[in-house]
């Protein structure tokens, strides 16, 4: 088998590529250049597309003795991931760019190109398992990435290989060290790779411009503060609101909704964040269309978020999940991922969340 190993410069993708080599496959390493201007220096543990990362990926490929190239996908990434991220926030939603990158870049642009160039599959360092073609959680719950892969259709998963799903992160690091890969001790990347300084709100302000507006109390309608732009808030957010007036009872207030058209952010008590009905659209079934329109399954609505039993009604590409119990702070734009135990059934993009009548 001829496989393309996507190598970010981190420890996971390096070990994934190494295991592909061990499997006896013909492996070619590719680093995806996603930033329009690759930065020279690493900022803390953030970012995944610096020149240094390209160099780390190259060194790992050297150690594995596999060919290595850099593919410039900066323009595709900008159009499909960064612009989507900005416009989702502008619409008052909270996008997950990693998920979008998997959907549009790694398992679309890169996979399509790889297949056209004669490769059979793309290997990545995601912590997830593929068992008989079904996407499953990693054995390491803390590092499980099945949530951000749940947007992949069966034909995409059929061409994906995740060699790390049976290992914990600690095992992967240990193996990298044994293999002499210098990235063994490299810090994990987190946050958003294209916002190098980690300041998402500053990034959005630069992109969308700040337009001051009111923060309104949900019960009284009174203006209790102001914001420099309704984007950059997330449902359930409590910190950084800078409210002028405390609630009468002194209880904490949270962002309940974001209304971009009115440029208004609504805040209120935490219990109003408790929802038990979540609607989603653009459903994708990782293991194929469900046989029935009613699914009893587990749902997860945030990366590394809580898992709740639910009854899901499927209507075409739309889903409505009735949660058994309530969940707090569900943000439109995030993915609703459905699981049967550890097996991913599919996902949908959350459009609304509320309380059943």
Partner 1 sequence: MPYLDHAATTPVLPEAVAAVTAALGEFGNASALHGSGRLSRRRIEESREQLAEVLGARPSEVIFTAGGTESDNLAVKGIYWARRDEDPRRRRVIASAVEHHAVMDAVEWLAAHEGAQVTWLPVDGTGRVDPAALRAELAADPEAVALVSVMWANNEVGTVQPVAELAAIAHEFGAPIHTDAVQAVGALPVDFAASGADALSLTGHKLGGMYGSGALLLRREQACVPLLHGGGQERDVRSGTLDVPGAVGLATATALAVGRRDELSARMRRLRDDLVDGIRARVPEVLVNGHPTDRLPGIAHLSFPGCEGDSLLMLLDARGVECSTGSACSAGVARPSHVLLAMGAGAERARGSLRFSLGHTSTADDVAAVLDAIEPVVDRARRAGITSAAS
Residues that bind partner 1 (CB under 8 A): 28, 31, 33, 38, 51, 54-55, 58, 67, 69-76, 78-80, 109-110, 112-113, 116-118
Q: How far is the CB of 300 from partner 1 (least distance, A)?
A: 29
Number of helical H runs and strand E runs in the chain: 10, 17
Which CB sits closer to partner 1, 109 or 247? 109
Contact 264, 356 (CB under 8 A): no
Q: How far is the CB of 126 from partner 1 (least distance, A)?
A: 21
CB atoms within 10 A of CB 37: 8
Report how far residue 3's alpha carbon sits from residue 195's, in angstroms, rounded to the nearest whole number.
30
Q: Which are the contacts of 60, defined by CB distance < 8 A and separation ≥ 6?
A: 7, 9, 13, 14, 17, 18, 29, 181, 182, 183
Q: How far is the CB of 116 from partner 1 (least distance, A)?
A: 4
Q: How far is the CB of 33 from partner 1 (least distance, A)?
A: 5
In terms of Cβ atoms closer than 10 Å to its own Cβ (0-12, 13-18, 19+), residue 328 is middle
Q: How far is the CB of 349 from partner 1 (least distance, A)?
A: 19
Which CB sits closer to partner 1, 104 or 129? 104
Report how far residue 72's alpha carbon sits from residue 114's, in angstroms, rounded to the nearest whole number.
14
Q: Where are the alpha helices (DSSP H) in the chain?
A: 11-22, 51-64, 74-77, 83-90, 97-101, 111-116, 146-149, 154-157, 169-178, 200-208
Which CB sits closer to partner 1, 56 or 88? 56
Which CB sits closer to partner 1, 112 or 296? 112
Which CB sits closer to partner 1, 74 or 310? 74
Which residues belong to the active site?
Answer: 101, 193
Structural tokens at position 179: 């293999």
DSSP code for 293: S
> Please, which residues bridge with residue 354 across strands?
277
């Amino acid at each position: 088998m001829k496989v393309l190993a996507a190598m970010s410069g981190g420890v996971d993708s390096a070990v994934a590529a190494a295991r592909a080599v061990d499997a006896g496959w013909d492996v070619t390493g590719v680093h995806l250049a996603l930033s329009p201007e690759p930065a020279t220096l690493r900022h803390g543990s953030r970012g995944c597309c610096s020149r240094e990362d390209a160099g780390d990926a190259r060194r790992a490929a050297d150690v594995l003795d596999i060919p290595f190239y850099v593919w410039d996908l900066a323009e595709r990434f900008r159009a499909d991931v960064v612009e989507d991220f900005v416009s989702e926030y502008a619409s008052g939603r909270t996008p997950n760019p990693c998920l979008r990158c998997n959907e549009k870049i790694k398992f679309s642009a890169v996979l399509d190109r790889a297949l056209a160039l004669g490769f059979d599959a793309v290997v990545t360092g995601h912590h997830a398992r593929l068992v008989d073609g079904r996407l499953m959680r990693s054995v390491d719950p803390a590092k499980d990435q099945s949530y951000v892969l749940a947007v992949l259709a069966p034909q995409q998963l059929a061409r994906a290989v995740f060699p790390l799903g049976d290992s914990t992160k600690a095992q992967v690091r240990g193996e990298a060290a044994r293999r002499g890969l210098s990235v063994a001790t490299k810090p994990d990347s987190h946050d958003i790779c294209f916002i190098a300084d980690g300041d998402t709100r500053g990034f959005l302000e630069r992109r969308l411009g700040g337009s001051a507006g009111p923060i309104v109390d949900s019960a009284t309608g009174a203006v209790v503060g102001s914001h420099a732009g309704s984007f950059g808030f997330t449902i359930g957010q409590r910190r950084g609101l800078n409210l002028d007036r405390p609630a009468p009872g002194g209880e904490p207030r949270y962002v309940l909704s974001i209304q971009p058209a009115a440029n208004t952010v609504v805040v209120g008590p935490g219990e109003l964040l408790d929802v038990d009905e979540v609607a989603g659209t653009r459903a994708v079934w990782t293991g194929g269309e469900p046989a029935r329109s009613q699914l009893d399954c587990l749902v997860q609505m945030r990366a590394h978020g809580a898992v709740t039993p639910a009854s899901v009604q499927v209507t075409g590409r739309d889903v409505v999940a009735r949660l058994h119990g309530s969940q707090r702070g569900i943000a439109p734009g995030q993915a609703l991922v459905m699981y049967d135990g550890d097996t991913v059934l599919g996902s949908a993009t959350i459009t609304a969340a509320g309380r059943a009548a």
